[in-house]
Structure 1
Amino acid sequence: MAIKSRLLSKLKFTYMTTTMAATAHPQKLRPVLHNLEEARKLCQQGLTESNYAKYGEVYDGLIMAIKQILSGEAGKDAGEIVGLCKELLEHIMAETSKEEHFKKEIVFLPYKASMWDSLESVWRAAYEDKDNCLAYVVPIPYCDRNPDGTAKEWHCERDLFPQDVPTLDWQEVDLKAMHPDVIFFHYPYDDCNRVTSPSQEYYSRNLKKYADKLVYIPYFVTGKGVKPNFIQEPGVNNADYVIVENEKIKAIYEEYYSGGKLPEGKILALGSPKYDKVIASRKEDYPLPEAWERLIAGRKIILYNTSLQAHLAHSDKILEKLYSVLLYFKERKDLAFWWRPHPLLEATLDSMLPHVASVYCEIRDAYLQEGWGIYDDTPELERAIVWSDAYYGDTSSVVELYSKTGKPIMIQDMEVSNIT
C-alpha cells in the first residue's frame, strides 16, 4: 500500500529523530513537528473518516506536546513529555502496521487530452469511490518529433481537460517517491513512435519501476480486429495488465503477444472506456459555439473524419481526394459539414510525409479562411459524434465508436476523387 508504506517510513524517521533530539537541545525537535504534521495528513488522506478517528487524537496530542516543548511552555517537564511522545509513536506505528483499510493510490497518465476518453470512465469510478481509492490525473508532457527523431516542440495539454476532472501539475508529482498502487496509461510506444513521444520518464519501462501495478488501456478501439504491431509495442509487454474491448480482441492479443510467456490473466476483456463515453454522451453535455450553430442552421450534419492510416497508405491520392470532398460539400447547401481530422494528423505528416504536409496545410487553411464549414481540432470527439447525423470518411476507431449510435456510416473510397 503506497500511503501506508510512506506513512510508516515517516513515523519511523520521526521516532528516530525524537530519540536523538531528546539527548540534545529541545529545538532539535522542529523536524519532528514537521514530520508529525505530514504523517497526520497522510493518515487522514489514506483512511476513511471513521477509521482515522482512532488516530486523529493521538496525532493532535503529539503535535501539541512538541509545540509546548519548542515554545518553552513545557519547562522542566520537557524530558518526561518527550518520553511519553516516544511511547505514543511506538503505539501509533504498531497500530498503523496492522491497519488494513488504507485507500489505494491510483494515478492516470494521459498525454493527449483528445485521448482522455480511453481512461475517463475508469478514473471516474475510482474517483467516486472515496472510501477505497485516491485517484489522480496527471497530464504528462509530450513532444512532436522531427523526421530525424529529435524533439520539434513540447506540449502539455492540462488546460484542455474537462473542468470536472481535477488534474495535477506533472512537475509537482514525483512518481518514484509516491510509488502509487496502480498507474494507468494509454501511450504504449516508449521511444518507438516516429511522430510523438512523452518525456522518457513516462515510458512504460520506467513507469513499471514506479508502481505496484501498471495497467495499459489502448487509446483506440477496433471492434473486430487489431494489427499485430499494436500488440507488440513495449507498453503491452511492460504492463501487468492490458484491458481490451472484447473477447475477440483479447484472443488476438494472446496470439500475437511478444513479451515472452504470457502471464495468466494479463489480457482482460473488460470493455473500453471510449464506448462508455460515447454511450453516455448527450447533446446537452456539449453546447456548440455560436459560430458553429450559425453554420449548421438547422441542416443535417455530416461528420467528415480523416485518419492517419489513410494518409499514410494513400499519400499519392489523399490530397486530391481531400480537395474533391471539400469542393463537393461546399456546394451542398442542404448539408452542414463538420471536418474533424485525427488529432495527430499534422504532426504525422510533418514527421513522415513533409512533402504532403505543406499542401495539406494549404488546403486546410483555405477551408478555414472560406469559413463555410466547421473545422474541429478540439479534444471533444464525443461532441462531434453526438451532434452529427451521419458519418463520412476513413476507416478508423471513430467508425467503431460511431456505430454505437446507430446513425448512418459511409466509408470514403480513395480511388474516387470526383463525387457526383
Structure 2
Amino acid sequence: MRKKTSEKLLKCVDNILSSLEMFRNFKGNSYISAKINKLCSDNMAVLEECADGVENKEYLELLDKFKESVSKINLEDAAEISKKMKELISESIIYKVVFMPYKASMWDSLESIWMAADKDERCEALVVPITYYELDSNRNPVKKVNERDRFPEYVNTINDEEYDLENDFPDIIYIHNPYDNTNLVTRVDSRYYSWNLKKYCEKLVYVPYYKWVDGVSSASFKSAMYHADYTVQSSDDAVKRCMEASPEYAGILGMETIVVRKAMEKKLINLGSPEVDKVLSLSKDNVPMPDDWKGKVIKSRVNVLYNTTLDEIFESRTFDKVKETLNFFKKNSEKAFVIWRPHPLMKQTLTSMLPNLIDEYDELMNEFITGDYGVLDANSSMHYAMFWSDMYYGYKTSSMTELYKYTGKIVLEDAPKLTKFVPVHGTEDILGNLKENNVVDEPDCSLEDIVGIIAGNDELKDGKHLDLENSGSKINDYMLKELLQKDELDGGKF
C-alpha cells in the first residue's frame, strides 16, 4: 500500500485507542459515549476497508481480535494488539519512487538505481522523461523536446504531460539535471525546476549525469545541489571539494556561508556511481554492435573511441587537434579505425557560445562522413562505442574518460592544444607502464605509439576485469532508510 494509506490506517488505530481511553473517562455521559462510539465505528470501517492492502493473513486475524477488544472496551488488550498491527502495516508500505531524466544519453546516471527500485518489493518505480527546450544564442527556447521514445525498450516510460505529479506526490524523485533556469544550451520545463519538484515529494535526490574525476573535476554551483535533499557523489574527493566551495555557493544564493555549508553537509554524500554500474554490466547482449558498424569495426584493426568534448574545444578555440587526429586515422586505416563521438550537444553549444566555429565544424563533419576510415557515433548511448572499441582517446576532464577506465582497456588522455609533438617515452617504457596502469597521457605518449602497441598485444584489447559494489542498490537502500528514519522522527510513526 502507498505510504499515505498506511498513515491513514495508523491514525485510525491511534484514534480508536484514544476513544477507548475517553470512553473510560466519560463512561456515564451518554452523549459523549455516543460520539465516541461513532468515532470508533468510523475508524474501524477504514481499517476493514483497507485490510486487503496489507495482504497479510496475520493482520486480518489481529483486526478481528482488535475489534473484539474494542467492543469490550478493553484498552489494555487493544493497545497490545495494536502494536503488532502497526508493525504489519508499516511492513506493507510501498514507496512511490519516480525517476525524471531529461536526456536519454544520460539515463545511465539513474538506471542502476531504477533497476534496484524496480526489483525492490518496497517500491513502485516509475520513469517519467521530462520535457526540455533547446536554446538559441540569446538563451531563448527554439525547440521543445521530449526523448521518451529514445529510452531502452526495457524501460517502461510514462508521458510527462499525462503524469499527475502534484496529486501523486511520490516519496522520492530522482533527477540528473541540476541547472534549473541557468543552463545556457538546454533548459528543462519550469515545472521540473528542482525547487518546484521539491514541493511534491518527500525526498528529492540529485544524481550527477557526469562522473567526477578526482583531482581534476571542479566544484561549481548548480541550483539543484541546494534545493534537493541529497546530492549523490561518487567519491570522497567530490564531497570534500563541493563542501569547500560553500562560500561560492553562498554568494550565488545570497546567504550566509555557514548556513549553506551546514546544508551541504547533510546533502552531499558519497554513494558511488550508477554510471560505473552500467559500464561494468556491458556485454554483447545489452549493447549489440550497431548495424552500420558491422564489417567496419573489425578485430584485425585497433578500434579507437575518440571522444571530442566541449571542454577541449573551449580551451583550444579551434578544431586543429581534431583535424590532426582524424587525419591520423585516414592515413593509417589498415591498422586503426576511429569511432568518433563528438559531444551530443556540440552543435547546439557552438551555435550558442562559439558561432564562429560552426562552419569549420560542419566542414569537418561532412568530410568525415564521406570518408571510409571511421564511423560517427551518434547513438544516444555512449556504451556501444565503449564496449566495441579497443582503446579510448579523449580529454581528461570528460566524465566519459573517467568511465572508460572501468572497462579495464587502455585510455590515452588528450592534450587539446598539443599538436605535432614528440613523445617523451619510447614504446618499451610505455608497454611496461600499460601492464601496471591502463591510463597514459600526452605528451608522454602519442596516439600513434599506443595504437602500435595495442596492435602488437591483443591482450590489451580485452582489458582487466573489475569487481565493484553495485551503487544503484546502495543508493536505493540508503534513500529508503532515510525515508523510514524521517517517518519515525515525525512522531514515532509513519
Contact 2:219 2:242 in 1 (8 A): no
Q: Secondary structure at the match of 1:383?
A: helix
What pairs up with 1:77-88 in 2 under 5 angstroms? none
- The equivalent residue for 2:266 is 265
Which residue, out of 127, 146, 149, partners 2:118?
Answer: 127
Is 319-328 or 166-175 further displaced after alignment? 319-328
Is residue 2–residue 179 contact of structure 1 (8 Å, CA) maintained in 2?
Answer: no
Residue matched to 1:60? none
Unmatched 5+ stretches in structure 2: 13-48, 62-84, 251-259, 422-447, 449-494
Distance 1:366 1:389 in 2: 24
Letter in 1 for 2:236: E
Q: Count matched residues.
A: 349
Aligned letter for 1:288? M
**262 and 358 in structure 1: CA distance in 2 versus 1, 3 angstrom threshold:** farther
1:338-349 equivalences under 5 Å are 338-349=339-350
| Alignment TM-score, normalising by the size of structure 1 | 0.76
Q: Which residue number in structure 2 is paired with residue 388 of structure 1?
A: 389
Report what 2:405 is aligned to.
403
1:2-401 → structure 2 map (5 Å cutoff): 4=4, 47=53, 49-50=55-56, 99-100=89-90, 101-129=92-120, 131-225=121-215, 227=217, 229-230=219-220, 232-257=221-246, 258=249, 260-263=260-263, 264-298=265-299, 299-315=301-317, 317=318, 319-333=319-333, 334-395=335-396, 396-401=398-403
Instruction: Please give the alpha-carbon distance, in whole angstroms, between the structure 1 residues aligned to 2:359 and 2:51.
Output: 56
How many Å apart are 1:272 and its aligned residue?
Answer: 0.8
- For residue 306 of structure 1, report the CA deviation from its aligned partner: 0.6
Q: How much does 1:411 deviate? A: 2.0
Contact 1:300 1:336 in 2 (8 A): yes
In structure 2, do the counterparts of structure 1 residues 157 and 48 end up closer, same or farther at CA, with 3 Å as the change threshold? farther
In 1, Cα distance between equivalents of 2:216 and 2:180: 19
AA paired with 1:339?
Answer: W
CA–CA distance in 1 between the matches of 2:359 and 2:377?
A: 19
Q: Distance in 2 between matches of 1:313 and 1:275?
A: 27
> TM-score, normalising length from structure 2?
0.65
- 1:204-224 CA-partner distances (Å, limit 9, x unpaired): 111111111110111111230
Contact 2:214 2:237 in 1 (8 A): yes
Q: What's the CA shift string for 1:51-82, capped at 9, x where partnerless?
A: 89969xxxxxxxxxxxxxxxxxxxxxxxxxxx
Unmatched runs of 5 consecutive residues or more in structure 1:
13-39, 56-94
1:153 to 1:96, Cα distance in 2 relative to 1, 3 A: farther
Give the whole-Å Cα distance in 1 for the aligned partners of 2:195 and 2:310.
26
Partner-residue secondary structure (3-state), 1:184: strand
Q: CA separation in 2, counterparts of 1:187 and 1:52?
A: 45
Larger Rg: 2
Alpha-carbon contact 2:6-2:93 (below 8 Å) kept: no
For structure 1, which segment, 201-210 or 284-293, has the greater mean C-alpha deviation from structure 2 after superposition?
Answer: 284-293
Cα distance in structure 2, aligned partners of 1:53 and 1:4: 18
Are residues 172 and 53 of structure 1, via their aligned partners in 2, closer, same or farther at CA, if it must alter by over 3 Å? farther
| 1:291 Cα deviation from its structure 2 partner | 2.6
User: Closer, same or farther in 2 for the Cα pair 1:43/1:254, shift >3 Å?
Assistant: farther
- Give the CA RMSD over aligned residues: 3.1
Partner Cα distance (1:118, 1:162) in 2: 14
By how many angstroms is 1:48 displaced? 6.4
State the alpha-carbon separation in 2 of the partners of residues 241 and 225 from structure 1: 22
Deviation at 1:415, TM superposition (A): 3.0
Distance in 1 (alpha carbons) for counterparts of 2:314 and 2:51: 53
Deviations 1:244-301 (A, max 9, x none): 0011211112211335242353211110100111012123321113330211232221
Please state whether the residue corresponding to 1:172 is helix, strand or coil: coil
Q: How has the CA–CA distance of structure 1 residues 115 and 51 changed in structure 2, closer, same or farther, with 3 Å as cutoff?
A: farther
Shift of 1:98: 9.2
What percentage of residue pairs aligned between the two structures are identical? Answer: 35
CA distance in 1, matches of 2:362, 2:56: 59
How far residue 50 of structure 1 moved from its aligned partner, in angstroms, is 4.1
Per-residue deviation, residues 99-129 of structure 1 (Å, max 9, x unmatched): 3222000111100101000011111100111
